[in-house]
Amino acid sequence: RRLVGLVRGDDVVARLGGDEFALLVHSDRGSNAAMDLGRRLLRALEAPMWVDGRELFPSGSIGIAVWDARYTSGADLLRDADAAMYRAKLKGQDRCVMFDGAMHDEAMRSLELEADLRRAIKKRDFLPYYQPIVSLLDGKVVGHEALLRWQHERRGVLVPGDFLSLGEESGLIEQVDWQIYEQVMQDMAASAVGYISVNVSPRHFRSAEFAPRLLGMLDAAGADPERLRVEITEMALLDDEPRTLRALHQLRERGVVVQLDDFGTGYSALSYLHRFPISALKVDRSFVAGLHDESGNSTLTLVEGVLSLARTLGIETIGEGIENERQLQTLKELGCNFGQGYLLGYPAAREQALQHA
């Protein structure tokens, strides 16, 4: 009703779905008038409202596209307004953003990258790179973490930061994940690599078929389940706790090790160590990096407490993001079991990383 109250009778207000609405406004006053309307819409949306006896304070993000000669369809106009709206969201709440040429170029690049992504899935151009996990007691490699890479046909090797958000938005990333899991199982079966850990997104645990499918891949490859580790974040544990717990127990019953990634950056992390079948945890790289900075004393105390608790619970610890000898020595002195980072080894393709493992 607030939106309708701000436009004329021949304008159109439509709900696209969820919390998204579209306004088609007839005007010959150009972009300045459109931005003025956008700001008035934001002010109207900000007014509090009462729902079931509770006072709520809504906010909004608005994207605007103005029709001109480059458009041939309303769908294109809506697409560009949508792109501007997402840019507004990135800038923070209560923003109004006008679609411009830079966003058009970015949208075209995204469309091109999505087409590349679809072709790459068909061609199986995704591969795992392996970064070593090293014992801090004797310096021996005990395993590797599998890290996603894309062997792009024109741009060379791409890291997830180059395409992950697009893969998530398009829903294509799940197919990529399963290609990586399958390749990891085959590599593990063919090499004496110790263990290999794979990162598992929270979205996979929403499916009851995740654990059976992963275990089926292990069996098909002839790989030992006890040499596979799944890395999960605290967000995965929060997302759908009962379903996630069932999946993790299914994996653990077959010997797959569950380890908690980025420990200490999320919510009530300590309680997870009791409720879930977690056998190892990774001390987040931000804590490792902060061991010797200005807040080093508090970080040092925190890391020392985490490692002490893990020892008490019989949980293995891995320090990640180790980049210098000082960090390495401190983690050794604190009793961290294993380490990972550029100081100990860079991610590399299978042929280089696993041949001497």
pLDDT in tens, 45-65: 888 888 878 888 888 888 888
Is 65 part of any domain?
yes
129: number of Cβ within 10 Å: 19
Does residue 92 or residue 303 have the better pLDDT?
Answer: 303
Is 106 part of any domain?
no
Sign (positive or negative) of CA dihedral 300, 305, 308, 314: negative
pLDDT number for residue 343:
97
| Identity of residue 109 | R
Section 66-94 average pLDDT: 84
**Residue ending a domain, choose from 99, 115, 147:** 99
Regarding whether 157 and 18 lie in a shared domain, the answer is: no
pLDDT number for residue 265:
59
Beta strands in 60-158 (DSSP E): 61-64, 95-98, 126-135, 141-152, 156-158
Given a contact cutoff of 8 angstroms between Cβ atoms, the answer to whether 292 and 326 are in contact is yes
Given a contact cutoff of 8 angstroms between Cβ atoms, the answer to whether 2 and 45 are in contact is yes
Domain CATH for 230: 3.20.20.450
Q: Locate 45 and state its tokens.
A: 């949306």
pLDDT number for residue 266:
54
Is 72 part of any domain?
yes
Q: Residues 153-174: pLDDT tens digits?
A: 999 999 999 999 889 888 899 9
Regarding whether 130 and 90 lie in a shared domain, the answer is: no
How deeply is 164 buried, as exposed, middle or buried, from its count of CB atoms within 10 A (0-12, 13-18, 19+)? middle
Regarding whether 214 and 286 lie in a shared domain, the answer is: yes
Q: Residues 238-254: pLDDT tens digits?
A: 776 788 999 999 999 99
Regarding whether 339 and 194 lie in a shared domain, the answer is: yes
Regarding whether 198 and 252 lie in a shared domain, the answer is: yes
pLDDT number for residue 1:
74
Q: How far is 107 from 26, CA to CA, in rounded Å?
A: 25
Regarding whether 233 and 151 lie in a shared domain, the answer is: yes
Regarding whether 259 and 143 lie in a shared domain, the answer is: yes
Regarding whether 278 and 153 lie in a shared domain, the answer is: yes
Regarding whether 171 and 315 lie in a shared domain, the answer is: yes
| Identity of residue 336 | C
Regarding whether 211 and 66 lie in a shared domain, the answer is: no
195: number of Cβ within 10 Å: 19
Regarding whether 325 and 200 lie in a shared domain, the answer is: yes
Cβ within 8 Å of residue 29, ≥6 positions away: none
Regarding whether 208 and 142 lie in a shared domain, the answer is: yes
282 DSSP β-pair partners: 318
Give this prediction's pTM: 0.76
pLDDT number for residue 106:
80
Q: Which helix (H) or strand (E) holds 262?
A: strand 257-263
Is 119 part of any domain?
no
Is 267 part of any domain?
yes
pLDDT number for residue 20:
85
Is 174 part of any domain?
yes
Domain extent at residue 220: 124-353
Domain CATH for 27: 3.30.70.270
Q: Which helix (H) or strand (E) holds 21?
A: strand 20-24
Is 110 part of any domain?
no
Q: How far is 36 from 185, CA to CA, in rounded Å?
A: 57
Overall domain count for the chain: 2
Is 152 part of any domain?
yes
Whether the per-residue pLDDT at 268 is higher than 70: the answer is no
Listed range (1-10, 16-25, 73-82) with the worst mean pLDDT: 1-10
